Amino acid sequence: MEAKHTNRLIHETSPYLLQHAHNPVDWYPWGEEAFEKAKKENKPILLSIGYSACHWCHVMEHESFENESIAALMNDLFVSIKVDREERPDLDEIYMNAVQMLTGRGGWPMTTFLTPDGKPFYGGTYFPPEDRHGMPGFPRILMGVAQAYREKAQDVEKSVNQILTALQGMSESQETERTFSSEVIGNCAEQISRAYDADHGGLGQAPKFPNAGVYELFLRHHHHSKSQRYLDMVIHTLTKMAEGGIYDHLGGGFHRYSVDAKWLVPHFEKMLYDNAQLVRIYSQVYCITKDTFFKRIVDETVTYLLREMFDPEGGFYSTRDADSEGEEGKFFVWTPQQVNKLLGEERGEIFCRIYDVSEQGNFDEKSILHPILTVEQASKFFRRDRGEIEALIADGKRKLFLERENRVKPFRDEKIITSWNGLMLSGLAEAIKISPQPAYVEAASRTIDFIFTKVYRDGRLLHSYKDGKAKQLGYLDDYSFLALGLCDFYEATFDRAALTRAQELTETMLREFWDDAGGAFFYTGKSHERLISRTKPIFDASIPSGNAAATQLLLRFYHLTGKEDYLKRAEKILRSYYDVMENQPFGFAHMLCALDLYLNKPKEIVVVGNREDAKTAELLSEIHSHYFPNKAVQLVAPDISLEQVSPLLVGKRQVDGKPTVYICENFTCSAPITNRGELQTALQR
């Protein structure tokens, strides 16, 4: 029997690194040992970055890293380092920027070639094992790069210097001389909306991503401008997504993105960060429309996350793979025979017709479930009562789901990432406001407890947790996303400990990440390992940019505390990126949301009452039922002096011992409000 290779990755906790622990490649994890070897032997470094749910990462592993002859070339010519981008987003950010400069595009798996001191000079993404489709094969790349490193040292040095200069330039910004204008938000929303797909919703054509931040910007613009078009675009997009194959109609939750324009065929992996952000935006749209369709999607998605992505200790896992048993999407697709066997011929035929399950299929001769008939259409077509069709759908989905549970599930990456759990807290908070289920509150509370027990050490956050080990000092995203999540959780539940923790994180973030010279926040803290570049994240990707989240956080705390330092720093960030966000609005949706919060001051809503009081709960429920993108809601016990909360509230108190609401805006406060009807009128006004 062939001996099984084992390399240094066998000692790691990252599932992605462990997947490569038996490759014949002599992989090293990122660290001094690899760099010392490269310097000692004067070999370039091959840095490969990916993540466990990445389909093409698995393909390149199978084709190249499991191939004995390609592995021998790698071992002979390079020191090879494997990195999980979810565990080390700082490295991913730096070297992805370098690859994009070199090739004009990026993606994973990412392959970058470095000098022995970690400086990039060449790179790309996926390389096939031999020359194909006009792409050079990986062996040809390996030999060419190694030869260039040995024989063309001047060219390598020139490439390194150009990349380092460009990386340095990416962290520099120019503060605008112009006065902020509220028209910028409308103009930017208009620019982005030109890419809107009027047929299928979403932006652009294929591939199509959820882009939750853009829809949040559209909702804000609709709220202020009352332009129905922006709300309609969001409603249309979220409806099409939830009716498409990108949504899991049996188990709940969204896949990563759609490879076509119709949201039909997804890239089947499921990411925590997508689902967290989509729970939030679907909750907000329900708040505006009161259409129970959106609430159902929220509840199904949260149910999925609690069932499959929640750790018993607290905290949410990172990802589910696209592949099972070596096939992409195998877990999720169906044939008419499989459906009929479960439901019977007659009921199976109706279910298949509604959910587009056919002999020819819509994905590799199998079918991805998605409704192509409404209940009304199916009722007419099959001459069945509407209630009967609804019962048949519910029964069919339940039986198919239970059957699917017996299949081999796609791999789950059980790393718990602090920043993504922060996004999840924000999503759960919005879900709690529209659907105050004890299970949602408990999951959020347990997640907060988990983070401050397991990934918080000596006053500092750590980035990820797996197998009992917390790793890496927290990044800007960890602090800003988590603190925002805690603020959102406070506004949903009025657990004041969450707000206290959020402010502590904000203060640590300012000390560790703020750039005293240029303003804005670095991605890594002062205490972090020294890397070749210290980047500043400003563009949104599949998650908000760290600086956009931090700006929103500072503004929210300014309105909660009145502390001028928070406002000044937020203004400095907005001035630094004001011109560029106007020119490239698509990459700045979340920063534009921060600008909106700055320009359109929040309603400051203070409820004086006890959390346990039924009348207080009734008033809070009314507040939660309205969509206000900019608001600061606080619950204050009757025995607390209100001027501690805001100077605007000096002398104000409960009326006749009843729970009382004050709504303050533009330095004036409403008369005290004690009943729900009055409150509803005041909020609508």
Write down the pLDDT at residue 135: 85
Question: Is 638 in a helix, a strand, or coil?
Answer: coil
For residue 100, the one-letter residue type is: Q
- pLDDT at residue 2 in the model: 47
Residue-level pLDDT at 644: 77
How far apart (Å, rounded) are the C-alpha atoms in residues 192 and 35? 44
- Tell me the C-alpha to C-alpha distance, in Å, between residue 402 and each of 177, 407, 577: 61, 10, 50
pLDDT at 105: 87
Whether the Cβ atoms of residue 209 and residue 574 lie closer than 8 Å to each other: no
Measured CA distances, 680 to 30, 92, 504, 624, 632 (Å): 57, 48, 34, 11, 17
pLDDT given for residue 1 in this prediction = 36
Q: For residues 109 and 54, what is the distance between their CA atoms, to the nearest angstrom?
A: 8
Q: Does an H or E element contain 50, and which? A: strand 45-50
Q: Which residues pair with 310 in a beta bridge?
A: 316
Mean pLDDT, consecutive 10-residue stretches, the chain (685 aa), reads: 77 95 98 97 97 91 97 98 97 95 91 97 94 90 96 94 91 91 96 98 96 97 97 98 98 97 96 98 98 98 98 96 91 98 97 98 96 96 96 98 97 97 98 96 98 97 96 97 98 95 98 95 96 94 97 95 94 97 95 97 92 94 96 90 75 89 88 95 90
- State the Cα angle at 459 between 453 and 463, rounded to 5°: 65
Tell me the domains of the chain and their CATH numbers.
Answer: 8-170 (3.40.30.10), 183-324+413-599 (1.50.10.10), 330-409 (no CATH), 603-684 (3.40.30.10)
Enter the tokens of residue 127: 């390389």
DSSP β-ladder status, 603-608 and 631-636: parallel
Q: Enumerate the H helices of 362-475 as residue ranges.
A: 375-381, 386-404, 418-434, 438-454
The pTM score is 0.95
d(CA 238, CA 288): 13
The contacts of residue 591 (CB under 8 Å, 6+ apart) are: 538, 540, 545, 547, 548, 551, 574, 577, 581
Contact 644, 663 (CB under 8 A): no
Under 8 Å between Cβ of 472 and 527: no
CA dihedral 532, 538, 543, 546 (to 10 degrees): 80
